[in-house]
Amino acid sequence: MVSSKSSRATGVPKIAQGLETYDLEALSVEDAVVYLQQLGEKASVENILNVLQKCRTDKNLVCTRRIHLYIHNQGLEAHAAIGNYLVPALADCGALPEAQRVFDKLNYRNEHSWTFLIQGCVEHGEFGRAFCLYNNMYEQGVSPNRYTLQLVLKACTNLQDVKTGCKIHAEVIKSMFEGNQFVASTLVDMYVKCGLLAEAQDVFDELIVQDIVSWTALISGYAEHGPYERALDCFEQMQAKGIFPDAMTFVCCLKACTSSGAIHKGKQMHQEIVKVGLEAELFVASAMIDMYAKCVSLFEAENVFDMLIYHDVVVWNVIIAGYSEHGEGGKALDSLRKMRYEGVHPNTLTFISLLQGYDGLSSIDEVQEIHIEITKEGLEGDPLVGSALVCIYAKSGVLSAAQKVFDRLYSRNVVSWTALISGYADHGFGREALKWLKQMQADGVAPNDVTFVCSLKACGQMGALKRGKELHVEIAIEGFETDVFVGNTLVDMYARCGFLAEARDVFDELQVRDVVTWNALISRYIEHGFDEEALDCLQEMKQMGLMPDLLTYVGCLKACGCLGVIDRGLALHMDISIESFEEDSFVRSTLIDMYSRCGLLLEAQDVFDDLEYGDAVTWNVLLAGYASKGQSLHVFSLIEKMQEQGVEPNGITYLSALTACSHAGLVVKGVIDFSSLLKEHSEMLTIQHYNCMVDLLGRAGRLSDAVTLLKEIPCQPNLVTWSTLLGACRKWGDIELAKQAFESAHSSDDKYVALFISMSRIYASAHMWDDAKLIEEMRLNTTAGMELVEG
């Protein structure tokens, strides 16, 4: 007998008498192949099968191919025993195409060659080919064994092909393998991973032996798809039957605790893990850290992490993700440094975990620091990491940085494109957003629902109705029209462009209308002065059984204030109280404004007095209400109280004070207050303040002072300015000043059609009929010219 050592040293001798007595088991796989080749035609079938077995056991593809060549040269490829063994040997070594070619030449194919060829396909991810082989096997009358059925069930699991899986289940029943422990466990796993937990439970309940594998498969299904509590119930039932959980069972149960927020159950699970000594298993520890972090218990997460002797990249990623999710960006960054110090190399997931703690409103300095680390690792061009960076920079409004990262990406997917488009749209750069959408489509990347939403938002901002309509057509073709988010944005886009009828048409076609959809329509109705329609929407909404939210009530209160419909306003106030929205400061401010506009200042004051603390907004709303009714004493008293409570007056506060002076005829006080503002708070003054002073002086007949003020105004007068001055001229019969004001207004903007009417009325009041007729003709000519341009 020749040993492996001597054969390698001296080589296998030439064929001689008694050569066939060599012990193949003692030879290395390489020497066994040489030995077989020297035997030539003298090799027996048993010799060939033994050497093939050695090649298959060692997964030695080179030697297997040499044996294949030998078999081919000997004309034995079609030999039933040899061919049916050569197929699995080649398949096990990863040579699927060669295995298939041998298989195709076989005159007789047994269940083993079919099964092992199917196994090779499944192991190498060729699931469609595995199904095809299984179907051919079935058609040729070869009965699958339990291992064949397990393989095709695994293929169904990987493809999430429930339909085929159910057919295979029927074959399992037909072949009498349903009671087989391994097949049944695979069926449970298939149904679980496809999300069909009721079917998984049915198969599990029929198992004769419910072992740890089948229990864990079922528990993992409930942990993944819910109900999560059912996973924990299964865990208790398993223990009650005397089956001890393994590491994977604990990981699944911890996931269920995480998803359901059951931290008390998680702590109990932690105690059991310690009892069985699995707390040092890294993937178990990772699940515990994740559970504690997501259940808002970072302290316990840190404790588990610190107890570990060794940390791999997975554990580091989990603790970093925990810090990021809880806004502990500093600790997350510090963990990256410690991780490197321990010699653990960060990966793509590390940086994604780091970046997820930043929503675009956090410190951009820290994001840039992470960006530097990403660049050091050469991951800036990675599609996942790069997309995350683009998203954060875009949300932060640092669009130049977002663009630079985007330009450096190795490949750009829909996520990175959408992040860039969203950034431009969200920060008012609609033209750029639509430009990049066009480029995205030119590059062959199809938009998703979020891309369309961002692009529609850009159209709405710009009033780009034509492009919005084109997008609407694309959305319909791609099948996104039924998406609630997309539908809501379509409604908003049409409404923002002023096409409320089209917005309503889209709204009526939506299959699902949520409160956001209704709010989009209601808010745009109010914005364009269709307050009655907005309130009608509220009624329709309630009739459909959909409860309004805070934004709905705020919008409808504004509509009530504009229409002066106090009865509907009171009804809304009652609904708001029932729904407990009254405590919201935004709602309170709107209630005060609604009552003020409807002339119910006592009710407005009552709402204000119920506030524990009034901010500048609520104070100003109440002040505006009193000012509009000329109750100057209340206005001045409130401003004093406001300052006493530490709330600083702003430009809106001072505007109410000037309005009160104007309505009460307090010219001297108004002039003094305005002069003081001009001297101390000139940065707060807007055209509204100057218009208010023109009104104050005009009401008192001090037209020359009003003109002097207008000459010193630092901003461009608007329609209100000129209308107010012309109104004063008409009241005091100052025709010459009215002419000067009209000529100044007309030279600055001839589209102020309302000024023609005011001037015509001034001439008519002075019985200057010819001049009035001339102004009317000018108005008609101007209107006709505007219509021609718009046409």
pLDDT in tens, 490-542: 999 998 888 889 999 888 888 888 898 899 899 989 988 899 999 999 999 99
Is the pLDDT at 128 greater than 80, yes or no? yes
Q: How confident is the model at residue 439 (pLDDT cuts 50, 70, 90)?
A: very high
Is the pLDDT at 147 greater than 70, yes or no? yes
* DSSP H stretches of helix in 106-180: 111-123, 127-139, 146-159, 162-174
Which value, in Å, is the radius of gyration of the alpha carbons in the chain? 40
Of the listed ranges 286-295, 442-451, 581-590, the least confidently predicted one is: 581-590
* DSSP H stretches of helix in 550-686: 550-563, 566-578, 585-597, 601-609, 616-628, 632-644, 651-664, 667-680
CA 243/CA 396 separation, integer angstroms: 53
Is the pLDDT at 642 greater than 60, yes or no? yes
Contact criterion met (CB below 8 Å) for 457 and 434:
no
Of the listed ranges 129-143, 274-288, 291-305, the least confidently predicted one is: 129-143
- The pLDDT score that the predictor gives to residue 360 is 62
Angle of helix 449-462 versus helix 465-478 axis, rounded to 10:
160
CA 243/CA 265 separation, integer angstroms: 19
Structural tokens at position 503? 């917005």
Mean per-residue pLDDT, 190-208: 87
Q: How confident is the model at residue 748 (pLDDT cuts 50, 70, 90)?
A: low
Mean per-residue pLDDT, 546-558: 92
Mean per-residue pLDDT, 108-127: 84
Q: In sequence order, what are the residues at sequence separation of 6 or more whose Cβ sits closer than 8 angstroms to the Cβ of residue 621?
A: 589, 590, 592, 593, 596
- The pLDDT score that the predictor gives to residue 8 is 40
- The pLDDT score that the predictor gives to residue 18 is 43
- pLDDT of 71-83, one tens digit each? 888 888 778 788 7
Structural tokens at position 179? 């009671």
Mean per-residue pLDDT, 240-251: 93
Q: How confident is the model at residue 751 (pLDDT cuts 50, 70, 90)?
A: low
Which of 2-16, 547-561, 615-629, 749-763 reaches the highest mean pLDDT?
A: 547-561
- pLDDT of 596-619, one tens digit each? 889 899 999 999 988 877 788 889
Dihedral angle over CA of 521, 524, 529, 532, nearest 10:
20
Distance in angstroms between the alpha carbons of the first and the last residue of the chain: 105
- The pLDDT score that the predictor gives to residue 20 is 47
Exposure string of 689-727, with b = 16+ CB inside 10 Å and e = fewer, is bbbbbbbbbbbbebbebbbebbeebeeebbebbbbbbbb
Is the pLDDT at 576 greater than 80, yes or no? yes
Between CA 37 and CA 47, with CA 41 as vertex, the angle to 5 degrees is 65
Structural tokens at position 273? 């893990």
Contact criterion met (CB below 8 Å) for 57 and 27:
no
Contact criterion met (CB below 8 Å) for 403 and 420:
yes
- The pLDDT score that the predictor gives to residue 783 is 54
Is the pLDDT at 788 greater than 70, yes or no? no
Is the pLDDT at 145 greater than 70, yes or no? yes
- The pLDDT score that the predictor gives to residue 12 is 43
Exposed/middle/buried for 158, CB within 10 Å: 0-12, 13-18, 19+?
A: middle
Cα separations (Å) of 691 from 309, 624, 668, 720, 722?
A: 74, 16, 17, 7, 9
Mean per-residue pLDDT, 429-445: 93
CA 406/CA 391 separation, integer angstroms: 10
- The pLDDT score that the predictor gives to residue 623 is 92
Is the pLDDT at 15 greater than 80, yes or no? no
435 vs 98: which has the higher pLDDT = 435
| Owner of token pair 């410190």 | 363
Torsion angles phi and psi, residue 443, rounded to 5: -80, 0
Which of 103-112, 164-173, 586-595 reaches the highest mean pLDDT?
A: 586-595
Q: What is the DSSP letter of 362?
A: S
Q: How confident is the model at residue 710 (pLDDT cuts 50, 70, 90)?
A: confident
CA 762/CA 740 separation, integer angstroms: 13
Mean pLDDT over all residues of the chain?
85
**Residue 100 CB: number of other CB atoms within 10 A?**
18
Mean per-residue pLDDT, 366-377: 88
**Residue 309 CB: number of other CB atoms within 10 A?**
5
- The pLDDT score that the predictor gives to residue 31 is 79
Of the listed ranges 416-420, 430-434, 580-584, the least confidently predicted one is: 580-584
Mean per-residue pLDDT, 317-343: 90
Of the listed ranges 290-294, 423-427, 721-725, the least confidently predicted one is: 721-725
- The pLDDT score that the predictor gives to residue 133 is 85
